[in-house]
Every structure is written in C-alpha cells, then in structure tokens.
A and B are shown apart, each in its own frame.
Chain A
Amino acid sequence: EPEVTQTPSHQVTQMGQEVILRCVPISNHLYFYWYRQILGQKVEFLVSFYNNEISEKSEIFDDQFSVERPDGSNFTLKIRSTKLEDSAMYFCASKWDRGTEAFFGQGTRLTVV
C-alpha cells in the first residue's frame, strides 16, 4: 500500500537554529498538508499546499514557517528560527483530491533544546 514517508523520525535542534522537515507524499496526490501535535494536545492544522502554492494556513503558521515542493516529489516544512514551543510531532499528509481521505505520515518528532 502506498504511504507518506517522513524524515527524519526524530530531530533535535538548538533554539534559534533552522530545521527542515521532509516528506515524500504519495506519488499521484495533489494536495499536501502539515499538521503538528504538541505532546498531550490535539492535532493542529498548519498549512495546506496545492498547485505549488499555499491554499490555507493557520495562525500558527507565521513568518518563521515556510513550505516548498522543490522537485515534484518532496514536500518540506522549514522553521527558520526554532523556539522551545516548536517542540512537537509534525505530520505530513497528502490526498489526491479535495474530498478524498488524507493519508498521514508517521511524523517527525522535533525537540528544540
């Protein structure tokens, strides 16, 4: 069964450093998403991406965050200057059409120290 792949599974970074979280969505999918989940809290939407542009973003997704689909297969989330409160599980998701179900990756655990 096709799956969404995220790397790395765990990343530790120092506060103020830039991090890039990587995702390989399912190959024929057209809609891409990032969500995050702070330990013990709800899964929160960050951003959606379609047709090479952001289609929706949450209040969390401020100027420190950016997304890119550089080569038609990878989908990345960059945090420019990490803060302690960015520590969370980050989930990538994709789907082939707006109404279809989303497939989630296994997540990247980001720890900012």
Chain B
Amino acid sequence: DAKTTQPPSMDCAEGRAANLPCNHSTISGNEYVYWYRQIHSQGPQYIIHGLKNNETNEMASLIITEDRKSSTLILPHATLRDTAVYYCIVRVWFGGAAGNKLTFGGGTRVLVKP
C-alpha cells in the first residue's frame, strides 16, 4: 500500500470548514484513498473514500487532485465533536491478500475550538 503523509496536528474554529491535507505521491492506479477518524481512543470510524473523482457524503467531502498524488478531506462545518485523529489511508479496493487490512499512520490530530 502507498505511504501517506499528513500534518501531525491542526486547529479549527467551530462552525468553520476544516481542510485536512494528505500526500500520497506514490499512489498507484488501482489504489483508493480512504479516510477514517478516531475520537479519543474509540474504535476508528469510516468517513469517506474515493478513487479519482471528488466524493461527498453526509460527513465530509473528499477532493482528490487530478494527478491523484494528494487529497483533502473537508469537514464543512466543524463541531466540537469532530475533535479526533484523522487518518488518510491508501490501498487497493480488492487487495492481493483476502484480508484487505488497513495500515494506519500517525494521522492528523484535529482540535476544534469554540
């Protein structure tokens, strides 16, 4: 799976959009970008994923650059409950091994401030 690089931490004002960057310059053509978050040692929570088109769901938007070497997760109106560690993970849709494990890096620790 391709390696990802994320800033270790960032602050965001409540009610404002939070833009979380992720670099994945070695991504290959069959690898997807997944975002998960972990709120204070709870189990990781899936947010969104995409291949090359921008994606939006009820939680967030995912913007992937045309060359797919980087992406941005957007939380449109951050709330205090969005304070968490956000993980950007790149992997194939159907992995070579049936396991399809997730490889977590250090993520970005996001603190939403009132």
A, B from the same assembly = yes
A42 to B102, CA, bound (A): 12
Chain A residues with Cβ under 8 A from B45's Cβ?
Answer: 104
Chain B residues with Cβ under 8 A from A107's Cβ?
Answer: 41-43
Q: Which residues between 14 and 68 of chain A lie within 8 Å of chain B, taking CB atoms? A: 31, 33, 35, 37, 42-45, 48, 50-51, 55-56, 58
Which residue on A lies nearest to B98, using beta carbons? A55
Contact B94 A98 (CB under 8 A): yes
Which residue on B lies nearest to A99, using beta carbons? B93
Helix, strand, loop or mixed for chain B's interface? loop
Which residue on B lies nearest to A50, using beta carbons? B98
Helix, strand, loop or mixed for chain A's interface? strand
A33 to B38, CA, bound (A): 17
Which residue on B lies nearest to A39, using beta carbons? B41
B104 to chain A, nearest CB (A): 4
A112 to B100, CA, bound (A): 30
Contact of A48 among B32, B87, B99 (CB under 8 A): B99
Contact residues on B (Cβ < 8 Å of other chain), bracket:
20 to 34
Contact B105 A42 (CB under 8 A): yes
Which residue on B lies nearest to A91, using beta carbons? B43
Chain B residues with Cβ under 8 A from A4's Cβ?
Answer: 43
**A56/B44 contact (C-beta < 8 A), A44-B104, A99-B93 known:** no
A45 to chain B, nearest CB (A): 4
* Interface hub of B32, B38, B99 (most chain A Cβ within 10 A): B99
Contact A33 B94 (CB under 8 A): no
**A43/B42 contact (C-beta < 8 A), A55-B98, A98-B93, A98-B94 known:** no
Check if B76 is an interface residue, CB within 8 A of chain A: no
Residues of A within 8 A of B (CB): 4, 31, 33, 35, 37, 42-45, 48, 50-51, 55-56, 58, 89, 91, 93, 95, 98-99, 101-107
Instruction: Please give 16 more A-B residue pairs, beta carbons under 8 A apart, in addition to A48-B101, A50-B98.
Output: A31-B99, A33-B99, A35-B104, A42-B104, A43-B38, A43-B102, A48-B99, A55-B99, A56-B97, A56-B101, A93-B44, A98-B95, A101-B34, A101-B49, A102-B44, A104-B43
Residues of B within 8 A of A (CB): 32, 34, 38, 41-46, 49, 87, 93-95, 97-106
